[in-house]
Structure 1
């Protein structure tokens, strides 16, 4: 073994869920290590949407204003063009101030921001280029986990990983899988998600803004297709909805046919589609929607996409993952401070968080059926329905703001904080709630 560590919590995955969980646990003085398998966060076409609910949580952590100082795009409304008619679909201005808008920010900027803030805390460690490869069992005889059948009665006591410096073993009271929809730790724990059939995939690509751009538009939906158009300041992150499995056929048809399809579905993009000159500029997102029946084992829990892959619809995936992290931190901090991670606590976290996940996935599933019509050339909605949506838009946009912007059963930070490294006072706006704080300092941070 090249290196062995002991922590209160080890988290596999440096995405939004893992970073927020690590930050909150470290604020409480707990020893936490986050592992990210990549050397950096620079991967495009990931969730860039930060909803009002996440802005509220950042405010509770004392990070809201510093986050908003980043180069972000703030949107108070979301418009869509449905069968040629522009309709305001969501009005975040209906939400309580100050979190009455949505923010678009490249996910790498968001993760780098969280990493900077977390590294100010003396008990936080982030290891880049380090990939979790297996779980450690209680009383394990140090055989590779892959060679052993999962024993449901054996508690997880940490994980193994590979890093630039060799093999790493981290023993921890709680091990968290936040390593995404293809989670290796989830498989290692014997947890298998139940898949929901999804009839669509998404092709993601970046385009320059057209010379004469329209107001910010979430997407264009009609019998000609559906194209997402997400404002990124000087560019537009775009996505074309296609039938599941259709991408191979589209590549055979060629880029000219792809350009024509985009232009027909979203005429505003006509002047700029020619900037897509190679298929490597187009990334396939295989849309999944699934959920684990059980998120946990003794000493182990999965959160975020590792527990429930969400559809890109409404851009809620990042925010649901962060809500999971906050709920887990709120529940587990008192136990971890006693050196325990009771199964009953982990079960409560799943019970609390799977309620909003189930509801949102049902909504997304119904939306998929509507959107899928755009891939067949059929009219997406009958004309009377479009007219009704337009008429009811003022009421619908307020409801949508609460459901999408604030989320279902939103979480709030209830843990205390410790003094950050290199600073004074609290990182968050929540007072210290414990009289004693056990601190661990890694001089390498």
Structure 2
């Protein structure tokens, strides 16, 4: 007979050690809530994840008194964004005017970001991070989610909790297990990520998106290399692979001529990583005993690189709303979980609507092969530079900035 599972009792079980899960775990533990975070991997060392930390996230770090230490980690500061549409270069966003603790985007490997959050959370005795713990399903009692079943190297484990927070990404097992309905907003694109070398003495320091007839390409400067994104029509990767790596190298060289002498670094399609783009959201983020946040509640397009930062904003709002609810009865706790959706759904809808508009109008037009011209609104940014603060505000801080108001139960 199989051994009985190990049992852990806690207030809140968070599934997923990504940005949403780690930030929610840190904030709730800081407020005195007993938290267990389950992360299925043994470490955070996974490449080609979103690596942009926006001003909204760094404002949360500042609220926690962690920003100075955070910015000691290796990172690149991006204070402006520009793009090339056809033959025209347009300046899109200027973050310098933002009234926030860090008016720039920090490019930082996500594993450094997550390790930093984990180290900060471990300072609190109410925080428990379990690595190599893969959630396999929920525990239900009397129509209510009452915990999570997980597999670990030491065997099966049950985490029994008043509230389970699903922060396990766009392919959320918990979301599916709960049967929460998903609204698919459509994504006509996928992105192929790759690395090409960067020569700091000669190459541009700022990120640049290039849209031309039939192609769209993004270069993001990192230490010693460019993280590059080749935008392809949905499902087009198999067609690209069938044409061969040499044909793909030629396409990359045409999309980004400054990198033409480096495309030979793509030895095979093993050097190209597919991101299947999805834009969707739950119509209901919770059920009794369960709350979804981050990508588990709403998958974002890579447009604008805002996914991490919306996930973190969800976590900040969840902690602000939930931190004192564990002293209440189950009905009151569930009502607080519903309040998280009421607060975070409007800015999520607004950002997804903007992403879908850009996907359909600009990216779709580029991939169609039609000649491109910069939209009129972009030309206004050239004539009136102060207008660049508007997209900087939207990308940097979102449509609703969440400030940390949950308390530090261990201060003083």
After TM superposition, is the score higher than 0.5? Answer: yes
1:339: Cα distance to partner? 6.0
1:53: Cα distance to partner? 0.7
CA deviations 1:174-198 (Å, max 9, x no partner) are: 1010000000011111113111111
Moved over 4 A (4+): none
Aligned to 1:69: 72
8 Å Cα contact 1:37-1:131 kept in structure 2: yes
User: Is residue 45 of structure 1 aligned with residue 34 of structure 2?
Assistant: no
8 Å Cα contact 2:136-2:148 kept in structure 1: yes
Aligned to 1:380: 372
8 Å Cα contact 1:224-1:264 kept in structure 2: no
CA deviations 1:57-109 (Å, max 9, x no partner) are: 00111111111000011111112122223222110001015321110101111
Q: Distance in 1 between matches of 2:45 and 2:257?
A: 31
> How has the CA–CA distance of structure 1 residues 274 and 14 changed in structure 2, closer, same or farther, with 3 Å as cutoff?
same
Q: Distance in 2 between matches of 1:350 and 1:2?
A: 33
Q: 256, 260, 264: which one pairs with 1:266?
A: 256
> How has the CA–CA distance of structure 1 residues 332 and 114 changed in structure 2, closer, same or farther, with 3 Å as cutoff?
same
Equivalences for residues 232-271 of structure 1 within 5 A: 232-271=222-261
Aligned to 2:402: 411
SS of corresponding position for 2:298:
coil
Equivalences for residues 11-160 of structure 1 within 5 A: 11-139=14-142, 154-160=143-149
SS of corresponding position for 1:327:
helix
Q: Distance in 1 between matches of 2:350 and 2:169?
A: 21
Q: 333, 337, 342: which one pairs with 1:351?
A: 342
SS of corresponding position for 1:78:
strand
> How has the CA–CA distance of structure 1 residues 387 and 309 changed in structure 2, closer, same or farther, with 3 Å as cutoff?
closer
User: Is residue 330 of structure 1 aligned with residue 333 of structure 2?
Assistant: no
Q: Distance in 2 between matches of 1:394 and 1:319?
A: 25
1:346: Cα distance to partner? 1.3
User: Is residue 308 of structure 1 aligned with residue 298 of structure 2?
Assistant: yes
1:333: Cα distance to partner? 1.0
Aligned residues: 406
User: Is residue 367 of structure 1 aligned with residue 358 of structure 2?
Assistant: yes
SS of corresponding position for 1:112:
helix
SS of corresponding position for 2:299:
coil
8 Å Cα contact 1:173-1:299 kept in structure 2: yes
User: Is residue 279 of structure 1 aligned with residue 269 of structure 2?
Assistant: yes
Q: Distance in 1 between matches of 2:400 and 2:381?
A: 28
SS of corresponding position for 2:316:
helix
Q: Distance in 2 between matches of 1:69 and 1:371?
A: 36
1:117: Cα distance to partner? 1.1
Q: Distance in 1 between matches of 2:171 and 2:381?
A: 40
1:294: Cα distance to partner? 0.3
- What TM-score results when the alignment is normalised by the length of structure 1? 0.88
Equivalences for residues 1-16 of structure 1 within 5 A: 1-16=4-19
Q: Distance in 1 between matches of 2:208 and 2:33?
A: 41
- What TM-score results when the alignment is normalised by the length of structure 2? 0.95
